[in-house]
Amino acid sequence: MREQARPFDVRRAGVLLHVTSLPGEGNLGDEAYRFVDFLAEAGCSVWQVLPLVPTHDDDGSPYNSPSAMAGNPDLIDSTRSEQLDDAAFTAWCAQQRDWLEPYAEYAALRELRRTPWHTWEPALRDRDPQAVEDALAPLAERVEDLRLEQWVFAQQWARLREYAAEKGVLLFGDLPIFVSLDSADVWAHRELFELDADGRPITVTGCPPDYFAADGQRWNNPHYDWAAMAAEGYAWWRRRIARQRELFDLVRIDHFRGFEAAWHVPVAAPTARDGRWVKGPGEEILSALVETAGPGTLVAEDLGVITPEVDELRTRFGLPGMKVLQFAFDGSLDNPYLPANHGELSVVYTGTHDNDTTAGWWDKLDDRTRAQVASHLLDPAELMPGALIRLAMESTARLAVVPAQDLLALGSESRMNTPGTDAGNWQWRAQDGAFDAELAAQVRALVEHARRARAAGA
């Protein structure tokens, strides 16, 4: 991991844009470098992305991945030839072996069988060494190709990260707290998850009814066996966070509150409404994560049902929380998302990848809520989404992040994800030329006025 000043020691501005949403092919090609240039010209020093992991074909969600450790091969720029250095490749494979080998084995078998691993014949399902070896024998070339894909991804991402560093731009990643049942992680480490003898979850993840869903959300990930995790010193989590820090300067922990207590939904329950809270390892797991990641590099996604215990856990370890302005205007002066209640150890957003765009959100508000919003704006006559972007920039929060769709003043048709729905998500892509010099100048004016502009390397 590279040495750097702690990102939250100064005021910063950033943009949320997943790699797949870049103009053109949505990969690690020229448009990724142009976007870094745009950020630098705009005075922004943070580029936040969604998880870079592979996705399943059925939903394309980066929060439902066949691997928590691998890079998405679809992000590779095929026009950039990689000079294969056999020694470097072999050394990299050895260094990443603990996740790379299970991933390559799982992915090759998954491509062949086209069904989740827990439906495979028992010997393969249970990862019997001889059965795996026999099944992979005719797939040796594909397994090697999968390793090579990961090496190429790593090389291309490392070059982009180095370029961003030269431009003074930090890369901000996203780590989903839970992993997909149909993944190399669960297949290779069944003992670390609450599964029955056939590899199926005993209870599944989700959250209770909230702003997004009246019946709660049922995510269907398996829950961790925290006792088994603790017995190995949280080694799996240490490897996972170390892997993220290889890729990113900052890492957001999605659903942070699950470390304090997680919502357990019975497998047979029709909705997540029937779940219950079950205590997690709290301080023990956070100690392992912060020690491994380094201080000042983790951010807690603390949205939803947040208790004093969750707040205390976050603040004890010095993790900034999230303040989403679209949630601020319910008429309550103690609403934690109101700018007056932010505090410096925070990341403020106009909205997130799970929200409507600010233009779409504003269009759907009733007159009473619009009046509430206007009463907190710096200039009530300023149009949306610019007014909310300005409010975010002027927040006391050390980092202000604006989704790219809001910078571009796009409507609901450009929304990235609608929680609880399966179709039409994760597909938005910016138009060619969207991030131009005129927009960079407009953003820089806001960033400089809010004292968030950073010089390269600062």
Whether 192 contacts 236, CB under 8 Å: yes
- Annotated catalytic residue, options 354, 382, 394, 448: 354
Single-letter residue type at 296? G
Distance CA 72, CA 69 (A): 10
Please report the DSSP string for 304-327 in residue order.
SS--HHHHHHHHHTT--EEEEGGG
Q: Which SS3 state, helix, strand or coil, does residue 335 take? A: coil
How far is residue 387's CA from residue 362's CA, in Å, rounded to a whole number? 11
CA angle 200, 201, 203 (to 5 degrees): 155
Smallest CA-to-CA distance from 175 within 346, 51, 3 is with 51
**Has 301 been annotated as catalytic?**
yes
The CA distance from 408 to 416, in Å, is 14
Helix/strand/coil for 279: strand
Name the DSSP class of 458.
-
CA 219/CA 206 separation, integer angstroms: 5
Reduced to 3 states (helix: H, G, I; strand: E, B; else coil), residue 176 is strand
Q: Which two tokens stand for residue 222?
A: 């398996």
Nearest one of 140, 67, 136 to 100, comparing CA atoms = 67
Which residue in 211, 435, 173, 208 sits closest to 293, CA to CA? 173
182 counts as catalytic: no
- Catalytic choice (301, 302, 356, 406): 301
Helices (H), 114-139: 122-125, 129-136
131 burial class (0-12, 13-18, 19+ CB within 10 angstroms)? middle
DSSP 235: H
Q: How many residues does the chain have?
A: 458
Strand residues in 61-213 grouped as ranges (E) = 170-176, 203-207
Catalytic residue (choose from 254, 260, 356, 406): 254
| Residue 323 bridge partners (DSSP) | 348
Burial of residue 308 (CB within 10 Å: 0-12, 13-18, 19+) is: exposed
Residue that the structure tokens 């053109």 belong to: 24
What are the beta bridge partners of residue 298?
A: 251
354 is known as an active-site residue: yes
Catalytic residue annotation? 254, 301, 354
